[in-house]
C-alpha cells in the first residue's frame, strides 16, 4: 500500500495521533481518549446542574457542562447525560427536566452534583417548579424548565433535546469551567487575583 501523502491521515491512524510527539522510552503514549479530554478542557463553558424527578418521586441531578442552544423557534436546548446515570433515567421517565445555571458562588453546588452517591438534595436548598421539576435555590441564578422532545444515544451518553417551556433568571455573574478549573467572568474574580479554583474531586 502506498504511503499516505504528507498531512493526510491514514485510515488506520487515529486523527488525534496526527502531530503527536513520540513517547519517550518507558512512557506510554497518551490514548485518543486522553488527548480528546485534554482538547475539551481547553474549551471553557458555563456550569449547569440538570435536575429531574424520578418515577419513584426522588429528585435526581448532576453537574453538566455539555449544554448547548439548538434553536430559538421553538426555544430548544440540548444536554448530554450518561446513559447509566440516575438523572438520565429520571429525565427519560419524567419527560421533563430543568437546567440550573450556576453563578460565581455556585461551586459548592457544582461539587455536590459531580460527586457520586449520597442524597445530594438534602444538602442544598431547592424547590419544585410549577411543571414538577426540581429547581436549585442555592447556587443557581437561572433556570430553564424543559420538555423532552428527543433523545439520541451516542456511545455511553445520550443527547437529550428539550424545549424550554419556562425560563427565569436573576442578575448574577456566571460560573465558568475550563482547563479543569473553576473561574468567573474576567473582572468579577471572587478572590481578587483571578486565581482559579481546584477541579472537583
Please give the Cα distance from 102 to 144 (Å, whole number): 12
Please give the Cα distance from 63 to 90 (Å, whole number): 15
Kindly report, residue by residue over 149-185, the tens digit of the pLDDT: 999 999 999 999 999 999 999 989 999 988 778 888 7
The answer to whether the beta carbons of residues 183 and 190 sit under 8 Å apart is no
pTM: 0.77
Q: Which structural domain range is residue 62 located in? A: 42-174
The answer to the question of residue 85 being in a domain is yes
**What is the number of domains present in the chain?**
1
Buried b / exposed e along 96-135 (16+ C-beta atoms within 10 A)? bbbbbbbbbebbebbbbbbeeeeebbeebebeebebebbb
The answer to the question of residue 47 being in a domain is yes
Kindly report, residue by residue over 59-103, the tens digit of the pLDDT: 999 999 899 999 999 999 999 999 999 999 999 999 999 999 999
The answer to the question of residue 4 being in a domain is no
> What CATH number is associated with residue 126?
2.30.110.10
Amino acid at each position: 500500500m502506498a504511503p499516505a501523502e504528507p498531512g493526510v491521515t491514514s485510515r488506520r491512524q487515529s486523527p488525534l495521533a496526527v502531530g503527536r510527539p513520540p513517547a519517550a522510552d518507558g512512557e506510554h503514549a497518551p490514548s485518543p481518549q486522553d488527548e480528546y479530554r485534554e482538547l475539551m478542557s481547553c474549551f471553557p463553558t458555563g456550569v449547569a446542574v440538570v435536575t429531574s424527578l424520578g418515577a419513584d418521586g426522588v429528585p435526581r441531578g448532576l453537574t453538566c457542562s455539555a449544554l448547548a442552544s439548538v434553536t430559538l423557534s421553538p426555544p430548544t436546548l440540548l444536554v448530554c447525560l450518561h446513559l447509566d446515570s440516575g438523572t438520565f433515567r429520571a429525565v427519560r421517565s419524567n419527560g421533563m427536566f430543568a437546567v440550573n445555571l450556576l453563578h460565581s458562588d455556585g461551586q459548592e453546588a457544582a461539587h455536590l452534583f459531580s460527586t457520586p452517591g449520597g442524597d445530594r438534595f438534602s444538602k442544598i436548598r431547592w424547590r419544585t417548579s410549577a411543571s414538577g421539576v426540581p429547581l436549585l435555590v442555592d447556587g443557581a441564578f437561572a433556570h430553564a424548565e424543559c420538555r423532552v422532545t428527543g433523545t439520541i444515544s451516542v456511545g455511553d451518553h445520550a443527547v437529550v433535546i428539550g424545549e424550554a417551556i419556562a425560563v427565569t433568571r436573576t442578575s448574577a455573574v456566571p460560573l465558568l469551567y475550563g482547563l479543569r478549573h473553576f473561574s468567573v467572568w474576567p473582572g468579577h474574580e471572587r478572590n481578587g487575583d483571578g486565581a482559579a479554583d481546584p477541579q472537583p474531586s
